[in-house]
Homo-oligomer: A and B are copies of this chain.
């Protein structure tokens, strides 16, 4: 099976092309970071990424992570999902349907969901305000059933 036959280029390939277009270079450090990001479907922040990389016995400076993130966002591979506790949190989006987040305020658990009505709202907004819509972020905050129970018994 030739790799040309694959329907979807890998995130590494996408990023390589992106870098080339920008006259930037593909480095082992960048590869390490991207692989770490795409190795799970978890949300991440800079610290958790850094720790994950080191636990695999690899080594990359935090500065390199901080420097890479804006590039990955520009390349549409990741996006900011929420800011909490003084840190921005991200997730990769390439290869995943866009989704929104339902977060428990108590235990910080996150459920993902998607809803076509939001695309419709976007469309209407673009027409009404004459905007070119790029993206949206919907966070719903609540209390999960376990935490509700805990709170009742306290």
Let me know if A20 is at the binding interface, CB within 8 A: no
14 extra interface residue pairs, beta carbon distance < 8 Å, beyond A102-B125, A134-B142, A137-B139: A102-B129, A105-B134, A111-B131, A113-B125, A118-B121, A121-B140, A130-B144, A131-B142, A131-B143, A132-B143, A133-B141, A134-B143, A136-B140, A137-B137
Find out whether the CB atom of B131 lies under 8 angstroms from the CB atom of A136.
no
Q: Which residues of B contact A134 (CB under 8 A)?
A: 105, 141-143
Query: Nearest chain-B residue to A138 (Cβ)?
Result: B138
Q: Which residues of B contact A121 (CB under 8 A)?
A: 115, 117-118, 140
Name the one of B115, B129, B148 contacting A111, with C-beta atoms under 8 angstroms.
B129
Mark out the residues of chain A between 68 and 104 whose CB falls within 8 Å of any chain B CB in the assembled complex.
83, 88, 102, 104
**This protein's copies in its complex:** 2
Let me know if A45 is at the binding interface, CB within 8 A: no
Find out whether the CB atom of A138 lies under 8 angstroms from the CB atom of B141.
no
**A interface with B by C-beta (< 8 Å):** 83, 88, 102, 104-105, 111, 113, 115, 117-118, 120-122, 125-126, 128-145, 148
Q: Which residues of B contact A139 (CB under 8 A)?
A: 136-138
**Distance between Cα atoms of A16 and B113 in the complex (Å):** 39
Find out whether the CB atom of B138 lies under 8 angstroms from the CB atom of A142.
no
